[in-house]
Structure 1
Amino acid sequence: MIKVLIVETNVTRYGKTTDPTGLWLGEAAEFVADMQQVGIAVDYVSPKGGFVPLDPRSMKYTDETILKVYESADFVQRGLTQTLRPDQVDPADYAAIYYTGGHGVMWDFPDDPALQKIALTIYQNGGYVTSVCHGIAGLLNLKTETGQYLIAGKNITGFTTAEEILAGKKSVVPFLNRTVAEAHGAHFRKKRFYSEYAIQDGQLITGQNPFSVHAVAQRLIKQLTV
């Protein structure tokens, strides 16, 4: 059975503020729904394992597809309350890794060595490293065995500076995705703010914002089911 590993955040607030954040629900649930439609299994991992908080703002952007996953016992248990720790994951079991977003990931995705090892092993095994929105934070610091950034020379996308400004979070986030991506040699691509946009460059598939989940999922499904 083909399996994809979904990565989610454990971070509950924006840095040292009292402003709550967490997983952007639709970026997990919509992806899961697409995988279920074609019989691709998923597991869930977070940097610390266990509980995954939801960004409260993400609850305003749901539909029947998202709510159906959110209401399922499997997602509540495995995806929100009992996520795996990285040391419980065998990368050989997965054809791809998918980094979800929500602002929380900007604090616990970029420099987690255990998650980095999982992602690089999946990539080296011929699998796909994918993300949507702020999930690109999980890719920004990945390095190959030769010490080169994995995204160097690659076309990627993620939540843009314009979108951070519109979200009112530019002054709060610890970095800007495009700035770091380009500093690490990537070609950061984008479309109009909050427009669906996903691109593939080899084994990397990335989406710009929460409205790009389906586009990322469909590109990955195409690769995994050929």
Structure 2
Amino acid sequence: MTSVLFVVTAADHWTLNDGSLHPTGYWAEELAEPHRLFTEAGWQITIATPNGVAPTVDAGSLSPQAAGGEDRVAALLAYLDTLSSELAAPRSLSDVTVADYDVVFYPGGHGPMEDLAVDAVSGAIMTEALDTGRILGVLCHAPAALLAAKRADGSWPFTGYRMTGFTDEEETLGGLAPKAPWLVQSRLVELGADFVAGAPWAPHMQIDRNLYTGQNPASSGVLAASIITEIAGRA
């Protein structure tokens, strides 16, 4: 059976450049939709967070405007409710053995910009997944977690990798760019990523070797489906 590690932010806020705290967490669709598709594929999923802290869903991701209507909000809430016991007691990242998993998946939300972007344990998990050929799926703001990956010589493991993520344009359109201490796209490019941006809010993903990245919430399903297809092809 294919096993998947979901690495989820434990942050419930994002510290803005004026010191104020923007309430956030994980984005509902980005956790629920891939989790649903992987589950329907018959995969076993383990949820883990920094220090085993129960993650917080970003309330903004459950607004009708963000989710795509009242019916979609109800569907997301219903699915997340089926995961309530797992979300209430996730594993700690420090207890994770990467070799136990075939896929490592990071849903987004602004939360990863607060904790996973500077979490050395998460960075080591990403590096090991990359180096051992496991599929590493990273969605929306979760590519912020790539910033914490580092080799023993101090180099960045993802230099030259083609990837995408939440774009500077999308952050600007969303209204938070002026308050952001840094932007995901800009930071990844500074480190040496080959960043490919799609149209704002439209599904867009990139695959480079075993790194699978999605741009935004709308990319949740296509990213998960591509990972499922790849694993099926390896069977």
The normalised TM-score by structure 2 is 0.89
> What is the letter of the counterpart of residue 23 of structure 1?
Y
Determine the structure 2 residue equivalent to 1:69: 79
CA distance in 2, matches of 1:158, 1:2: 25
- Contact 1:7/1:97, CA 8 A, preserved across alignment: yes
Aligned residues: 223
More helix by share: 2
Shift of 1:28: 0.3
SS in 1 for 2:22: coil
Q: Spell out, residue by residue over 1:108-156, the C-alpha distance to the aligned partner (whole angstroms, 9 max, x if none).
A: 0112111122222222222011111001111134234554322211110
CA distance in 1, matches of 2:185, 2:23: 24
CA distance in 2, matches of 1:178, 1:148: 19
SS in 1 for 2:47: strand
> What is the letter of the counterpart of residue 7 of structure 1?
V
CA distance in 1, matches of 2:152, 2:136: 16
- Contact 2:102/2:134, CA 8 A, preserved across alignment: yes
Indicate yes or no: 2:16 matched with 1:44.
no
CA distance in 1, matches of 2:181, 2:223: 25
CA distance in 2, matches of 1:222, 1:65: 25
Indicate yes or no: 2:167 matched with 1:157.
no
* Percent identity of equivalent pairs: 28
- Contact 2:122/2:149, CA 8 A, preserved across alignment: no
Please give the root-mean-square deviation of Cα atoms over the aligned residues, in Å.
1.6
CA distance in 2, matches of 1:138, 1:124: 16
> What is the letter of the counterpart of residue 30 of structure 2?
E
Shift of 1:65: 5.0
CA distance in 2, matches of 1:207, 1:65: 22
The normalised TM-score by structure 1 is 0.92
Gaps of 5+ in 1: none
Determine the structure 1 residue equivalent to 2:186: 179
What is the aligned counterpart of 1:209 among 216, 221, 224?
Answer: 216
SS in 2 for 1:143: coil
> What is the letter of the counterpart of residue 221 of structure 1?
I
Determine the structure 2 residue equivalent to 1:31: 34
SS in 1 for 2:137: strand
- Contact 2:118/2:147, CA 8 A, preserved across alignment: no
CA distance in 2, matches of 1:163, 1:6: 25
Shift of 1:66: 2.8
Shift of 1:191: 1.1
